[in-house]
Chain A
Amino acid sequence: MSWLRKDKSATATVPRTGAGKRILFPFDAHGLAGNALDAALRLARAEGGTLVPVFLARVPLHMPLDATLPRQSKLAVPMQDLVEQRAGKYDVPVDSRIERGRSYRHALRQMIEHERFDMIVLAAAAAGGPGFGADDVAWLLANAPGEIVVLRPALTAAA
């Protein structure tokens, strides 16, 4: 896996006094990229920060945006438990979230609006595969404050 790093420290949000960096790690119902999660956890440990794994839940248009989402919760909750379990091995504190939106990008935008982060670690999708596509990454680089780390998909995943 290689790295594409865009340092926007000039516009970075200010970390909380007395707290380490908050590192946002978004993922969705398509699954968790284990290698990206490990990379995010290593970063969090190196920075002495807190990992904020956020499950992005897509709410269909025919439902209110604040609707209860039992089916997606059944996916999100075990995935978050898995992230916390893995974070325990790295000794990294976690502060999990589930965020709703009309699309994954909308959910991510809502998350960024609701809370402040110092860094966002994003796993890019392999061509045609699940995850964050090139458009999402471009949008995030243009709109999200703070440092953004985009993890390219592993070669095996891209093949």
Chain B
Amino acid sequence: MARGNHKIFLGMAAGVGKTYRMLQEGRAEAEAGRDVVIGYLEPHDRPATTAQAAGIETLSRRGFSYRGNRIEEMDLQGILERRPELCLIDELAHTNAAGGAHEKRYEDVEDVLNAGIDVYSTVNVQHLESLNDTVCELTGIRVRETLPDAVLASADEVVLVDITPQSLIERLLAGKIYRPEAIQPALDNFFKIENLSSLREVALRQVAEDVEAKRLPSESSIGSRSSAHRDRLLDTQVPQVIGERLLALVTPKPHAQRVVRRAWRSAQRLGAELDILWVSRGTPSAEQEDQLEALRRLASILGAHMLVEHGDDVALVTQRVARERGTTYVLMGTPHPRGALARMLRPALQQRLLTLLPGIDLRIVADRARAAERLSEEDEI
């Protein structure tokens, strides 16, 4: 039996309209003649969402008592027995109450997909496991219900439901997201422009990376996959986003910190991953070990990847690493001045990199100390 298609509607926060959009697309599928049901809907007392759900068959929930409370969960068995063509399931990261087949709703969704049923589902970006710490630091709020990144990565399509932070706050103030008594606490805590802007950026980046990750394997394995899968990838008409990836070449010396900071700033502007590479030519000295450890700590704080490779030829090792990591941009510190003999024997590192890495931009980070030295020398002249 062919596995169903999974389409995820991703948003930066509650209230952006993920559920509404999911219902809208589900309704369009139903009007086109497909058998569509709502497996689980969390309308949050939002009239527009409830109205959008009207007319689509809603499956009953599985109700049971837990610690004296009446609880309702999605009825997985009911969906599997009903066997619709398309099932709409809200809140993918939800944790089920005890007593269900699975602990998490995304595991229920797996069963539905494996039964050959297509699924539309919704999730907020802060629920993604790998982003949990980042989002927590950005917003100060730790999200308990997390979703493995693999679930998003394996989805056939991810749709970003995006509105500006200002519009979202206007919706909140208009009472379209929460009840009146919940509006002010929401504004005081999560719904701040800076939080929402950060989350929006994270969500946009996540989708761009997801698109790229899906595109690259499809290109490399073209011909080896089924034509149906290939057609599906082509049919999505996703924008051809190519992510930047920066590589900072360092040596374990104090000025490397500055090169890394410069590279990190560029990476932030480009929304890119940052790799830091030191090509070691032998056993590092105690001082180099200290500097290396400091670079590792800096990389960890900045969210960069510290790489140490061994080799005699820095340019060739850099070329290999750049190919392996998909580097689009190399940054390095100002090279030391070389003697006439060295210049005759071998071109400078930056010249060799330009030759060995066609199509990759190279940026040399100025050394302030040396620049100051040069200026003072010129003054003396």
Contact = CB atoms under 8 A, between A and B. Distances in A.
A135 interface: no
Contact of B254 (A77, A85, A88, A94): A94
A98 B368 contact: no
B287 A16 contact: yes
A69 B293 contact: no
Interface in B164-205: 198
A73 to B, nearest CB: 5
Interface in B300-357: 300-303
Interface in A39-65: 50, 57, 60, 62-64
A7 interface: no
Given A63-B137, A115-B294, A77 B261 contact: yes
B336 to A, nearest CB: 15
Interface-central residue, A16, A80, A94, by most chain B CB under 10 Å: A94
B308 to A, nearest CB: 18
B96 interface: no
Contacts of A71: 137-138, 198
Interface string B94-121: 0000000000000000000000000000
A97 interface: yes
Interface residues of A toward B: which range?
Answer: 35 or more
B264 interface: yes
B133 A63 contact: yes
A99 interface: yes
B258 interface: yes
Contacts of B301: 57, 68-69, 72-73, 76, 98, 100
A64 B132 CA distance: 11
Interface string A91-117: 101111111100000000000001100
A93 B293 contact: no
27 contacts: A19-B287, A60-B136, A60-B140, A63-B142, A64-B133, A67-B133, A68-B134, A69-B302, A70-B302, A72-B137, A73-B264, A73-B302, A77-B261, A77-B264, A81-B258, A84-B258, A89-B372, A91-B376, A94-B254, A95-B257, A95-B294, A96-B254, A98-B297, A98-B302, A99-B297, A100-B297, A115-B290
Interface of A: 16, 19, 50, 57, 60, 62-64, 66-74, 76-77, 80-81, 84-85, 88-89, 91, 93-100, 114-115
